[in-house]
């Protein structure tokens, strides 16, 4: 069931509270996850001269933010969970913006790349077009967006205290195209396993013509 407008604040509040209450456990549980394939997919498609300006959208405790900074890029984190934002600032020394995904305030044409690793699936489907347009606008012309989301059959709802929307490839392609993105690549993770054992859909996109402010 899709959320009613009056549900959106609760969706954000309850999902963020889930992460705030489990921030330390989440950091320990994901500290050693290898997402080098995803980081390489983003960086390899950016055509600007390095160092790149990267937005880690849904940066969590800062694991990948630290990697981007260590590679010499200008890395900025964004997360709606206050505990995560605090951890990421402390552990990386990078700027981290505490912003709810449903109430973004992003600069126009600022980033060479957006890294949305395991984050955009928390956006309810009815709000996703607006959020994707905001990410399009914050990218420079020709900028690149990477996303990785748990895939599904276009269902959405609550899952262990978090709200999620689970898209298949065709639905995700349609959402991204409507927001003005051109597909560069997609793949399933973890690599080397049968498709039924690959729950993550990763994809890479370039901005088409610059969209107007939203």
Give the whole-angstrom CA distance, residue 144 versus residue 52.
11
**DSSP assignment, residue 123?**
S
Whether 38 is covered by a domain: the verdict is yes
Q: Please give the order of strands across the beta sheet that includes 96-98.
A: 96-98, 74-79, 53-57, 111-117, 139-150, 200-207, 181-189
Whether 103 is covered by a domain: the verdict is yes
Whether 212 is covered by a domain: the verdict is no
Helix (DSSP H) and strand (DSSP E) numbers for the chain: 7, 9
pLDDT attached to residue 1: 47
Q: Is the dihedral of CA 137, 139, 144, 148 positive or negative?
A: negative
pLDDT attached to residue 29: 81
Place of tokens 């900025």: 76
Domain that holds residue 108: 5-207
Whether 101 is covered by a domain: the verdict is yes
Whether 93 is covered by a domain: the verdict is yes
pLDDT by 10-residue block (mean), the chain, 214 residues: 67 94 86 92 97 97 97 98 96 97 97 98 97 98 97 95 96 98 97 94 88 50
CATH number of the structural domain spanning residue 197:
3.40.50.150
Q: How many CB atoms lie within 10 A of CB 188?
A: 17
Indicate the pTM of the whole model: 0.93
The pair of three-digit structure tokens given for residue 175, joined into one six-digit string: 């959402």
pLDDT attached to residue 32: 83
Q: Which are the contacts of 41, defined by CB distance < 8 A and separation ≥ 6?
A: 146, 185, 187, 202, 204
Total domains in the fold of the chain? 1
Whether 203 is covered by a domain: the verdict is yes
Whether 163 is covered by a domain: the verdict is yes
Place of tokens 């054992």: 197
Whether 138 is covered by a domain: the verdict is yes
pLDDT attached to residue 83: 96
């Amino acid at each position: 069931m899709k959320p009613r407008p009056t549900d959106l604040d609760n969706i954000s509040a309850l999902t963020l509270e889930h992460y705030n209450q489990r921030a330390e456990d989440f950091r320990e549980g994901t500290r050693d996850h290898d997402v080098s394939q995803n980081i390489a997919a983003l960086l390899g498609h950016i055509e600007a001269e390095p160092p790149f300006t990267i937005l880690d959208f849904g940066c969590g405790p800062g694991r990948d933010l630290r990697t981007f900074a260590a590679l010499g890029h200008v890395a900025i984190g964004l997360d709606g969970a206050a505990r995560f934002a605090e951890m990421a600032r402390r552990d990386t020394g990078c700027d981290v913006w505490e912003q709810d995904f449903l109430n973004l305030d992003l600069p126009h044409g600022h980033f060479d790349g957006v890294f949305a690793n395991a984050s955009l699936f928390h956006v309810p489907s009815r709000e996703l077009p607006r959020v994707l347009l905001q990410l399009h606008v914050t990218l420079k012309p020709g900028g690149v967006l990477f996303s990785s989301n748990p895939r599904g059959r276009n269902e959405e709802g609550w899952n262990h205290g978090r709200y999620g929307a689970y898209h298949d490839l065709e639905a995700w392609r349609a959402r991204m195209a409507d927001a003005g993105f051109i597909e560069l690549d997609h793949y399933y993770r973890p690599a080397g396993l049968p498709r039924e054992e690959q729950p993550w859909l990763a994809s890479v996109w370039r901005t088409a013509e610059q969209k107007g402010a939203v």
